[in-house]
Amino acid sequence: MDFNDTPDQAKFRAKCKEWLDSNAQLKDTSKRANVESNLEELIAKAKVWQKKKYDAGWAMLHWPKEYGGINATPIERIIWGQEESKYDVPGSIFEIGLGMCGPVMMQYASEEQKERFLPPMAEGKEIWCQLFSEPSAGSDVAGLRSKAVKDGDEWIINGQKVWTSGAHYSDFGILVVRHDPDLEKHKGLTFFFVDMKSPGITVKPIKQITGTAGSGAGFNEVYFDDVRIPDSQRLGEIGDGWKVAITTLMNERLAVGDAKGADVNEALSLAKDKDDFGQLMIKNQAVRDKLADWFCEANGLKYTKFRTMSALSKGEAPGPEASITKIVSANKLQAIGNFGIDSGDMAGMLIDEEDGMSSFQAAWLGAPGLRIAGGTDEILKNIIAERVLGLPQDPRADKGLPFKDIPSGK
Amino acid sequence: MNLDFSDDQKFLQDEARKFFDKEGGLSRTRKVMDESLSHDEVLWGKVLELGWTGIRIPEEYDGLGLGHLELCVIAEEIGRALAPIPFSSSVYLFTEAIIKFGSDEVKKNILPKLVTGEVVGTYAVAEDMEAITESTLSCAVEGDYVNGVKIAVPDAELATHAVVLVKGAKGPELRLVDLNSDGVEISLQKNLDKSRAFYKVNFNHAQSSLLGDQGSGWESHVHIMDQAAVLFAFEQVGGSQQALDMAKEYAMERYAFGRQIGSYQAIKHKLADMYVAVTLAKSNCYYGAWALSSESSELPLAAATSRVSATKAFQLCAKENIQTHGGNGFTWEYDCHLFYKRSKVLSLNLGSEASWKEKLVSAIEKTNTLN
């Protein structure tokens, strides 16, 4: 039992470090990260960095060799991620493309399409997004209603997608739509990729709870108004849309979803520095009780991740333990944000004129979104109960019904 | 990165699980409760035959000479089986104190007998209905003679020896006492979990010998508590997992309103919460196991984190297992109450959850950055 790399892993890590050292600057942890830079600048910087990585072979480690990757093991991807995150490099806007769209194209696109689309995706020239969720299909994503109607060699798409990260700067997207509402819910779906510049597509950034569209990879609504897609851009058979979508989501499994933001460290620093009730907060038993709970959660998640990495490191499939990450971390973030705000008592609600929101205020305002995105707390608990513990599914009111006959409310 | 047990350790764990199953599992625990016994003598005898009391004892003293990690995996299975034996008192507490602080002579006299079971040890701390501190300690040593009263001492009737935390001339000391010597009086105290036995021990001019150094007794005591916290946390994780498994099985078998109760989200989410708590506790325990086995300076923090996390997990799983069982969970017949009671005893035996949270925060407030 130890935390050390194997000799091979240590060698790989050293290689990562060596390249990063000569191509990037280490982060200055004393400075607050600047999240305010404008979008064009952010994208331009990210593209330059991606191209640099691509030329040196670091851009899509996990892709097979034939598509320009190095077939990296999951543990090598993690090691690269750990090392890269120590450097002051632009946040990635290519993850959805490289992690989800790329693999689905490799599996379902024609040779010609792969040659055309995969290299620019890897190089960072073209950005991809994923068009799955809809206004009436969130947790129940297979309940989506956007329509595809066949017209000769083309399909005509009408409908609306929502919560599409990065749609406003994406060149292409993967899309699942309903081609036949007379079939059962999961059977009437078909999968495509689409040029985001196609006539009839309108992208509208979503004004979020913060009152802004969010920074960087913000969310969008995407409207399809008689958008024509050639049948050659269909991925998988007609009616196989759900199967293809699931493959895509499987590729997302490694993304563990640790909520970023104010953590137990920050709560501890606050409590050690700040007075409340006429004494340092850390001396208050109620504060100490909370700190202990959060530390146990944070530490438990950290070592859960280490257990997953240990399994990967040995070439074994990790257990289901990583499924707890988002539930625990998003709720913890919300609680810590709340704690930090409340420490200001009556004035806790005030936003600083110069510095803007404190990290606690930002955490409190952002956490509700994290408890929903990528699977709500409730859906994740269902998943743990059904797939990890093996409990039976809920009886479904839509089973066996043609999609058009399924009861729907708002 | 290798935060995992070795194949050999996993094999040992597997063997331990099979052993407890074969020996009748919870029926042993029930027997001790129903017949008001102090422990299960037959099961204890078999554990001695397997050599588990000597896991950490060096080979030169007839032990197996293995490490703390082997002890961790056994502890998890003892926890799962709610084994009614004095293993924890004698092995996690007493034996560890002798290995760490005993003179060569004491080791030579005692360790081989711990392997055979001729010596069974316990560890005496509590004196009153509150957490003990250096300054509230009242049981005292003068010359080599101990005077005072200890309560809630586990397995004291079966035990031949005890390590006793006492007040000495230069501060707290750990003292080794032969419980068969003059001036030692032992009486059973009723407790919430009848599958484990606790006693009041009266020391009236009882002869003792010093363990470790004078003046550093409190640090020695804290170290033994930290080590034991990790081992007990593994017992708690084993118990939590078993309570979760029980709840899950029942939720699959029991029907209400025409369907399995496990198909209701109210039950699913309850069980998912239990799974989250067990997973966090288990991962924290792995950290504890690493700190324990590598003699890391992080042990105090790792121990407190394991302890708090495992205490919360076992108490949650034990109470929600009853809830999942509905009325049946409240009967003597169903096993739910065995876990509920054990979870409470294990949450207190090294000090309450609140006292370990206090240790945890004391450890992190000293550091400037946490990893």
- Are A307 and B262 a contacting pair at CB < 8 A? no
- Are A307 and B269 a contacting pair at CB < 8 A? no
8 Å CB contact between A12 and A79: yes
Q: Residue B159: inside a domain, yes or no?
A: yes
pLDDT of residue A256: 47
- Exposure string of A154-183, with b = 16+ CB inside 10 Å and e = fewer, is ebbbbbbbbbbbbbbbbbbbbbbbbbbeee
B170 touching A (Cβ < 8 Å): no
Q: Residue B294: inside a domain, yes or no?
A: yes
State whether B203 and B226 are in the same domain.
Answer: no
Q: Using CB atoms, which residue from A306, A321, A385 is nearest to B279?
A: A321
8 Å CB contact between A126 and A117: yes
Tokens 């108490």 -> residue:
B315
User: End of a domain among B170, B187, B215?
Assistant: B215
Tokens 């150094």 -> residue:
B213
Q: Give B250-306 pLDDT, tens digit per residue.
A: 999 999 999 999 999 999 999 999 999 999 999 999 999 999 999 999 999 999 999
Q: Which CATH superfamily is domain A128-250 in?
A: Butyryl-CoA Dehydrogenase, subunit A, domain 2 (2.40.110.10)
State whether B88 and B206 are in the same domain.
Answer: no
Minimal-distance CA residue of chain A relative to B309: A296
State whether B125 and B16 are in the same domain.
Answer: no
Phi, psi values for residue A176, rounded to 5°: -120, 130
State whether B26 and B11 are in the same domain.
Answer: yes
Contacts of B107 (CB under 8 A, 6+ apart): B61, B98, B99
Phi, psi values for residue B204, rounded to 5°: -125, 95
- Are B284 and A303 a contacting pair at CB < 8 A? yes
Q: Give B94-112 pLDDT, tens digit per residue.
A: 999 999 999 999 999 999 9
Q: Give B106-148 pLDDT, tens digit per residue.
A: 999 999 999 999 999 999 999 999 999 999 999 999 999 999 9
User: End of a domain among B215, B237, B269?
Assistant: B215
B231 confidence band (pLDDT: 50, 70, 90): very high
User: End of a domain among B197, B215, B233?
Assistant: B215
Distance CA(A8)–CA(A80), nearest Å, equals 13
8 Å CB contact between B40 and B31: yes
| Structural domain containing residue B85 | 7-116
Instruction: Say yes or no to pLDDT of B248 above 90.
Output: yes
State whether B246 and B355 are in the same domain.
Answer: yes
pLDDT of residue B344: 98
Whole-complex ipTM: 0.96
State whether B239 and B143 are in the same domain.
Answer: no
CATH number at residue B99: 1.10.540.10
State whether B147 and B178 are in the same domain.
Answer: yes
Q: Residue B371: inside a domain, yes or no?
A: no
Q: Using CB atoms, which residue from B1, B289, B370 is nearest to A313?
A: B1
Contacting residues of B for A292, CB less than 8 Å apart: 308, 357-358, 360-361
Q: Residue B265: inside a domain, yes or no?
A: yes
pLDDT of residue A375: 85
pLDDT of residue A31: 59
Which bin fits A317, alpha (ψ -120 to 50), beta or left (φ > 0)?
beta
Least confident of A246-250, A318-322, B46-50, B325-329: A246-250
Using CA atoms, how far residue A239 sits from A134, A172, A193, A244, A245, in Å, is 19, 22, 15, 10, 11
Q: Residue B2: inside a domain, yes or no?
A: no
Q: Total domain count for chain B?
A: 3
State whether B333 and B248 are in the same domain.
Answer: yes
Angle at B69 between CA B65 and CA B73, to 5 degrees: 110
Task: Give chain B's end-to-end CA distance (angstroms, integer).
Answer: 16
A266, A321, A391: best to mutate for the B interface, most B CBs within 10 A: A391
Using CB atoms and an 8 Å cut-off, which of residues 2-21 of chain A contact chain B? 2-5, 9
What stretch of H or E contains A286?
Answer: helix A285-313
Question: Which part of chain A is CATH 2.40.110.10?
Answer: 128-250
State whether B92 and B30 are in the same domain.
Answer: yes
Task: Output the tens digit of pLDDT for each of chain A's 410 residues.
Answer: 888 889 999 999 999 999 999 999 998 766 555 555 688 888 999 999 999 999 999 998 888 888 878 888 888 988 998 899 899 998 778 988 988 899 999 999 999 999 999 999 999 999 999 999 999 998 899 999 999 999 999 999 999 999 999 999 999 999 999 999 999 999 999 999 999 999 999 999 999 888 877 666 689 999 999 999 999 999 999 999 999 998 777 655 545 467 788 999 999 999 999 999 999 999 999 999 999 999 999 999 999 999 988 988 888 877 788 889 999 999 999 999 999 999 999 999 999 999 899 999 999 999 999 999 888 999 999 999 999 999 999 998 998 999 999 988 76
Contacting residues of B for A386, CB less than 8 Å apart: 268
Contacting residues of A for B268, CB less than 8 Å apart: 381-382, 385-386, 391
Using CB atoms and an 8 Å cut-off, which of residues 43-82 of chain B contact chain A? 69
State whether B254 and B139 are in the same domain.
Answer: no
CATH of A7-92 given 2.60.120, 3.30.310, 1.10.540, 2.60.40:
1.10.540
Q: Which CATH superfamily is domain A264-388 in?
A: Butyryl-CoA Dehydrogenase, subunit A, domain 3 (1.20.140.10)
Minimal-distance CA residue of chain A relative to B360: A292
A394 touching B (Cβ < 8 Å): yes
Q: Provide the number of CB pairs (under 8 Å) joining chain A to chain B.
A: 164
State whether B54 and B72 are in the same domain.
Answer: yes
pLDDT of residue B288: 97
Phi, psi values for residue B363, rounded to 5°: -70, -45
State whether B90 and B11 are in the same domain.
Answer: yes
